[in-house]
Chain A
Amino acid sequence: MGVLRAMRARPVDVVADPNDPLGDLLRRAGRGDQSAFAQFYDALSPLVYGVVLQVVRDPSQAEEVAQEVFVELWRLAARFDGTKGNAKTWAATLAHRRAIDRVRSEQASRVRHDRDANQTIREERDVVAAQVESSFDQVRVRRALLQLSEMQREAVELAYFGGHTYREVAVLLNVAEGTVKSRIRDGMIRLRDELGGES
């Protein structure tokens, strides 16, 4: 037989990326290097913990979830793929996802809070406002969020900070699901234009 005609070789793309030093730490961690992982932890733990705390709210639960996130990053380190975003984005994405998993499973196993939707929204805004106040980056992000229309920002914040699905956001705001979907999409496009979406 021998019908396979093999022609050109494609280079393996696993090389050090000078633009993503955290990715290099993660690749070293993927080979079992715990000290590289400790450095990776030091660089990203404030972000991971901060995201989880924002969504979960309870500090002791946030600590548990942040630990889960880092152990998962350690387990998956060898599978880090720099073409799908840099290491920081991977960590931020996983942190948010695991925080959401936690609040949704809590929600499923527990009676919902009695607080009315408006109260919830006000509280969530206050937390955001309180946290975004000091550093340059924080100011930049806050300013970018302010470029969104009030309705877009509300929808994006309830989803990202509040951990609600867009359907839940629709109920909270008492508007149609399709409307929330559009606000979220338009808001994210606006935010991407303000902050940039390229790594």
Chain B
Amino acid sequence: MTDIDVHHLAAAYALDALDDRERTAFEAHYGSCEVCRTDVLEFRHTLTQVADSLAASTPASLKASVMAEVATTRQLSPLLAPVVTLDERRRARSLMSLAAAAAAVVMIIVGVAAFRGGDGPDTFASDLARVMEQPDSKVLSLDSQGGAEGTFRVAWSSSLGEAVLMGENLPATPADKAYELWLITPDSSTAMYVLDPAKDGSVHHTLKATADPSAWAITVEPAAGSATATGDIIFVADV
């Protein structure tokens, strides 16, 4: 498909009138296309008014069923919002090939599901699966700098606007310090996330990542989070 063809699918997409293959192709495209994003948003708002005109009286039993299921349904954690911009991009190389990193991700899903149980890891695994399903998804392993212990891997999809971060074997930080993740883009803006490893030194987070990263980095900052990077980079990966 040419770009023009893809643009022309915005209306059909908003109507849910694409088959799975085209829907996937369009979703991969429109995350990075301002024109299509605006079109879809506007068409959806238009269709909401059409939907309004279809309002029908609901069956009496529906509310009770919904609220009963709600009472026993765990909610997903919020995607953490970017809060900081930086002015400089950090350059580095990734050591692992994409394929090797992807294999490692699969290992981690298995490990998480096998050893941790409960809702959290399930949520994380489904978040990770959703990201990896995207045609534009990427996986990188961050390089340790200056002998920092542990590993970090990140998988993300810019079209989906989500990233999942996995850390393993991380030493505990002092009580007044925390790991922070930085998303670095060529136009200098960077997002920051505070990470809180579990007792076993692992971190599993799903993050909002709408910017297209050119590098990922980890520093150690004050525990409350820092709006600016003050510590040395201890892990980094160039995209």
Output the nearest chain B residue to A162 by Cβ-Cβ distance: B17
Least Cβ–Cβ distance between A163 and chain B, in angstroms: 8
Output the nearest chain B residue to A88 by Cβ-Cβ distance: B48
Q: Mark A144-188, 1 if CB is under 8 A from B, else 0.
A: 010000000000100110011111010000000000011011011
Interface residue? B34 (CB, 8 A): no
Interface residue? A16 (CB, 8 A): no
A89-B45, A132-B53, A141-B50 in contact; A160/B75 too (CB < 8 A)?
Answer: no
Whole-angstrom CA separation of A47 from B51 in the bound complex: 6
Are A4 and B65 within 8 A (Cβ)?
Answer: no
Are A4 and B90 within 8 A (Cβ)?
Answer: yes
Are B87 and A160 within 8 A (Cβ)?
Answer: no
Are B76 and A78 within 8 A (Cβ)?
Answer: yes
Interface residue? B59 (CB, 8 A): yes
Are B84 and A188 within 8 A (Cβ)?
Answer: no
Interface size on B, residues (CB 8 A): 70
Are B86 and A7 within 8 A (Cβ)?
Answer: yes
Are A6 and B229 within 8 A (Cβ)?
Answer: yes
Of the listed stretches B5-13, B95-103, B151-159, B167-175, name the one at the interface; the rest are far from the partner chain: B5-13
Whole-angstrom CA separation of A3 from B87 in the bound complex: 10
A-B contact count (CB 8 A): 234
Interface residue? B147 (CB, 8 A): no
What residues of B have a CB within 8 angstroms of the CB of A111 in the complex?
none
Are A53 and B56 within 8 A (Cβ)?
Answer: yes
Interface size on A, residues (CB 8 A): 84
Output the nearest chain A residue to B56 by Cβ-Cβ distance: A50
Are B182 and A84 within 8 A (Cβ)?
Answer: no
Least Cβ–Cβ distance between A170 and chain B, in angstroms: 11
What residues of B have a CB within 8 angstroms of the CB of A88 in the complex?
48, 52
Interface residue? B198 (CB, 8 A): no
Are B59 and A63 within 8 A (Cβ)?
Answer: yes
Are B42 and A197 within 8 A (Cβ)?
Answer: yes
Least Cβ–Cβ distance between B180 and chain A, in angstroms: 10
Are A141 and B78 within 8 A (Cβ)?
Answer: no
What residues of B have a CB within 8 angstroms of the CB of A89 in the complex?
44-45, 48
Interface residue? B74 (CB, 8 A): yes
Are A92 and B59 within 8 A (Cβ)?
Answer: no
A41-B66, A188-B46, A195-B49 in contact; A79/B56 too (CB < 8 A)?
Answer: no
Are B73 and A75 within 8 A (Cβ)?
Answer: yes
Chain B 172-194 interface residues, beta-carbon cutoff 8 Å to A: 182, 189-190
Interface residue? A25 (CB, 8 A): no
Chain A contacts to B: CB under 8 angstroms: 1-14, 30, 32, 34, 37-38, 41-42, 45-47, 49-51, 53-54, 59, 63, 66-67, 70-71, 74-79, 84-86, 88-89, 92-93, 95-97, 100, 131-132, 135, 137-138, 140-142, 145, 156, 159-160, 163-167, 169, 181-182, 184-185, 187-189, 191-192, 195-199
What are the 8 tightest A-B residue pairs by CB atom distance, in nearest-first order? A6-B228, A197-B42, A4-B229, A188-B11, A50-B56, A46-B55, A50-B54, A159-B17
